[in-house]
């Protein structure tokens, strides 16, 4: 960062403070991770200079020969990683990937089913404050109050009643496997499209430690960070490409367009202009890293760590939604501790532990307060921490929550957190 230090010392100091925060903090937000130095380098690299509207070989600008190579490399690696026939690496985010899918498969006002935001879904799965809930008629399914898992009898009942054009499976705070096969059977019964949003478990799916949506879903979206450990961004995939069945034809030839063509057009020019070629280059690195055997070891450790944490919390009488986890996500209901998610998040941050407040199923508190917190294991696993460290971390969290207003306790935990983080440094080269 020598150039930033010389030219903009004010911003340099801000970045250094964030660097120190990440180094000295236990990052337990389930949607966050630490990229490799190579990804950081690419994301801040020379490719940011190049405008490349369009797709490889079909750009609206000249001088795209090398960015074409980078995008083709990213696409080829992504196809190999998930064993899919079609991939688009241009969406700037998971939300934009979802928007592109909706623009392709749906018309404004169509009925869609998605997991309720308060039950672990995502804003783009029909929240009324989001474009998805404003443009489409969303019917939200929920989890069972006793099990904390998707109630497929009720999903089927809702699907038969409302006849949605599309069903979305996946979410942001659902700790169990996404049962793509069960969603597929319901979608098949009512002739609905099935979309998988695998933003959270994508890295686990790539590594084979979570079931794959590819055999079951018409289209798949994801982010490229979280468990996939790449730069912030989005992707769209299909296991098999095919002709669309809703009357979209090529204007000159009259041939029926492939769904891949429609998805590409929905991304660009439908929703975006020039792609972020520096981020696409970083995505290529991330996909290449995820193909390697050591990524599979990493993904397995993510799950082992999360399971250990969940069990430790349960043993301490914490209410873990669904009774545990199959993934990297732990959703904790703090109602029995008489503490709000907001209060827990604030106190834990003071102690150097970053989590996010989160609604739990059938939550009676507002989204700004919440009854729960969401905890994730990807970032601490990237640092090299294992199950022994998970036991320590749970103890740290418990110490704070049991005495949430005691500054002495919080400061003592903060000191222990800092010591643990020092043993598992990140970005050594940035601290030299």
First to last CA, the chain: 12
Q: For residues 361 and 142, is the Cβ–Cβ distance under 8 A? A: yes
φ/ψ (deg, to 5) at 54: 105, -155
Among the listed residues 388, 398, 399, the one whose alpha carbon sits nearest the alpha carbon of residue 423: 388
Q: For residues 379 and 22, is the Cβ–Cβ distance under 8 A? A: no
Q: Which single residue is written with the structure tokens 């990440």? A: 22
Catalytic residues: 51, 53, 197, 223, 226, 232
Q: Largest alpha-carbon pair distance within the chain?
A: 74
Residue 397: burial class (beta carbons within 10 Å; 0-12, 13-18, 19+):
buried
DSSP state of 1: -
Could you write out the DSSP letters of every residue in 227-241? GG---S-EEEEESS-
Pairwise CA distance, residues 319 & 301, whole Å:
23
Quote the radius of gyration of the chain (alpha carbons, Å).
22
């Amino acid at each position: 960062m020598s150039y930033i230090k010389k030219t903009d010392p004010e911003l340099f100091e801000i970045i250094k403070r964030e660097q120190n925060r990440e180094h000295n903090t236990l990052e337990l937000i389930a949607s966050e991770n630490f990229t490799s130095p190579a990804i950081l380098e690419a994301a801040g690299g020379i490719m940011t200079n190049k405008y490349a509207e369009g797709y490889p070989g079909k750009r609206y600008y000249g001088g795209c020969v090398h960015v074409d190579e980078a995008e083709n490399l990213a696409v080829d690696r992504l196809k190999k990683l998930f064993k899919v026939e079609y991939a688009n690496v241009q969406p700037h985010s998971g939300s934009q990937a979802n928007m592109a899918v909706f623009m392709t498969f749906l018309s404004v006002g169509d009925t869609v089913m998605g997991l309720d935001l308060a039950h672990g879904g995502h804003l783009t799965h029909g929240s009324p404050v989001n474009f998805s809930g404003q443009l489409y008629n969303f019917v939200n399914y929920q989890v069972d109050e006793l099990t904390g898992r998707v109630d497929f009898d009720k999903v089927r009942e809702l699907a038969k009643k409302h006849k949605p054009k599309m069903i979305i499976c996946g979410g942001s705070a659902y700790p169990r496997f996404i049962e793509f096969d069960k969603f597929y059977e319901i979608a098949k019964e009512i002739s609905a499209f099935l979309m998988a949003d695998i933003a959270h478990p994508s890295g686990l799916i790539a590594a084979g430690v979570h079931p794959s949506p590819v055999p079951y879903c018409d289209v798949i979206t994801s982010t490229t960070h979280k468990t996939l450990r790449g730069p912030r961004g989005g992707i769209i995939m299909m296991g098999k490409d095919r002709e669309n069945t809703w009357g979209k034809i090529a204007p000159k030839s009259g041939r029926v367009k492939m769904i891949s063509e429609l998805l590409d057009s929905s991304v660009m020019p439908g929703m975006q202009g020039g792609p972020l070629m520096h981020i696409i280059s970083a995505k290529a690195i991330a996909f290449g890293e995820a193909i390697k055997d050591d990524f599979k070891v990493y993904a397995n450790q993510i799950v082992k760590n999360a399971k250990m944490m969940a069990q430790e919390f349960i043993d301490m009488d914490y209410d873990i939604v669904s009774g545990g986890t199959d993934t990297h996500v732990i959703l904790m209901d703090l109602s029995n501790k008489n503490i709000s998610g907001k209060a827990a998040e604030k106190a834990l941050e003071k102690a150097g532990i970053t989590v996010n407040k989160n609604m739990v199923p059938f939550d009676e508190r507002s989204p700004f307060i919440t009854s729960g917190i969401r905890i994730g294991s990807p970032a601490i696993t990237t640092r090299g921490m294992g199950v022994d460290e998970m036991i320590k971390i749970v103890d740290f969290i418990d110490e704070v929550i049991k005495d949430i207003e005691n500054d002495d306790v919080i400061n003592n935990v903060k000191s222990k957190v800092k010591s643990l983080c020092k043993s598992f440094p990140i970005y050594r080269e940035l601290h030299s």
